[in-house]
Structure 1
């Protein structure tokens, strides 16, 4: 059984040798404005990714995590994102909540979570699943039923943030439908039902603009997305969506490539058929998706590192 919920605030190491300045493991933590990771002890975070190739292995099924919903991403993705780009007590917003994977990880890691789900029946299931997750940090997790494109829904998210004593989210996660690859519903507001690629991207743009407005300056947005085939050619959906994020004013920080082998639903049962189609039609079978990281620009001019005595912000 995989157990990956490691505390990011490591205890002092009394055996750590003093450095040239005479400091040892009991010195104040050196952290950034967006993470609890102690940079003085960076070597000890062996399971926190800094490379762009994410080989996560099998889906984590600890606690209430279950991979029974089409399009449900693996829990290791929000776990890594939250550990790199949030602090304890931060507020995380997921505008495509689905079955609540992000909010379950929020409970495990001590972050408040607000999810938005279009479909009421999925939101109900997500609430029950999230409630089954341990909440030893006593954080608040809320699932709203709404359309992430609409200003009204963004206003409801902002009200939930205000109830937490916050004006903005500290991290936003987006895992939209990969256009029409999976039909999640027949609701015309569902992005999977966008009639054209152009329509999909315009509707996604509306979500991103809400996300940027909700996100605090200097904080991060994660986009989980993949590409697709249509009319016998590759549609680079991930890069089109990245362009939307950049046009909304976000800084493009990273493209991480995640191996999806073993995490797909259905395709594994017909691998031979897919191989035959690939050989006949001249394409390659998707074995990856993207975790793209963006940052909202910060007007502050400091280096974003704190030695424990003050909070500074990175430009």
Structure 2
């Protein structure tokens, strides 16, 4: 664990373009879990859109980045993941010595069925779903959305959006990070697809943040070549409101 529990010289983002060349390594944050988001993202979301003592949900909790920030910022938090390996990593990540008033709950579960959460019980959702099957986080695990090709993934995200809408309180924020994908020369606008899914579930669109990508494995592979396509160097952070 890093001895620093907060980032140095942190300030809230004030524009619709976010860029974190230094992804952040305070507390227990690392980049060892492939595809996890920079802790600067949930920190910005939690500070801007919630208060101390509020309840934060990450239903694709992965290695626990969101929950670590919730603990540091004195929010209660629930982390859910279908993958038991991710649950182990998450429990380890939040197990650090810090005088926090928060309660952290972690459980293996399905983002499509959050039956353990009451309707309108969550103050903020901050999550980072898989990008279809671009990174597979398990081998044949049932209901693991990272196993699904793009079209199947899009369909399976519809009940995820419906559950997010159900558990979130009125007037509160649901934010998720997603990127587009390219397969066999074709670009699939996964970000726009999920934006529409969440809007069809009842959310209104508050903000679209363009988050610049850094140090991607695929980018390093193609950067030195002349290609007939542009390298994807951004993701979308959709900030939705339940009105």
Partners of 2:37 and 2:224 lie apart in 1 by: 27
Gaps of 5+ in 1: 7-45, 162-166, 298-315
1:291 counterpart residue number: 237
TM-score by length of 2: 0.92
What is aligned with 1:98? 62
8 A Cα contact 2:145 2:156, kept in partner: yes
**Which segments of structure 1 move beyond 3 Å, counting only runs of 4 or more?**
1-6
Contact residue 2 and residue 60 of structure 1 kept, 8 A: no
Counterpart for residue 27 of structure 2: 63
1:34-183 correspondence runs (5 A): 47-132=11-96, 134=98, 136-150=99-113, 154-158=114-118, 168-183=121-136
Structure showing the higher strand proportion among its residues: 2
Question: How many matched pairs?
Answer: 239
Provide the C-alpha distance between the structure 2 equivalents of 1:111 and 1:171, rounded to a whole number of angstroms.
10
Residue 217 of structure 1: how far off its partner (Å): 0.1
Q: 1:50 to 1:59 in 2, by over 3 A?
A: same
Structure 2 residue aligned with 1:192 = 146
Q: Encode CA deviations 1:201-255: one digit per residue, 9 max, x unaligned.
A: 1111111111100000000000100010022111110010000000001001111
In 2, Cα distance between the equivalents of 1:110 and 1:5?
19
Contact 2:75/2:101 (<8 A) preserved: no
Pick from 250, 253, 258 the counterpart of residue 211 of structure 2: 258
Q: What root-mean-square deviation, in Å, do the aligned CA atoms of Structure 1 and Structure 2 show?
A: 2.0
Given the alignment, which residue of 222, 225, 241 partners 1:274?
222
1:250-275, Cα deviation, whole Å (9 max, x unpaired): 0011111111113x3x346xx2x403
Between 121-130 and 102-111, the greater mean CA deviation after superposition: 121-130
Larger Rg: 1
Structure 2 gap segments, 5+ residues each: none
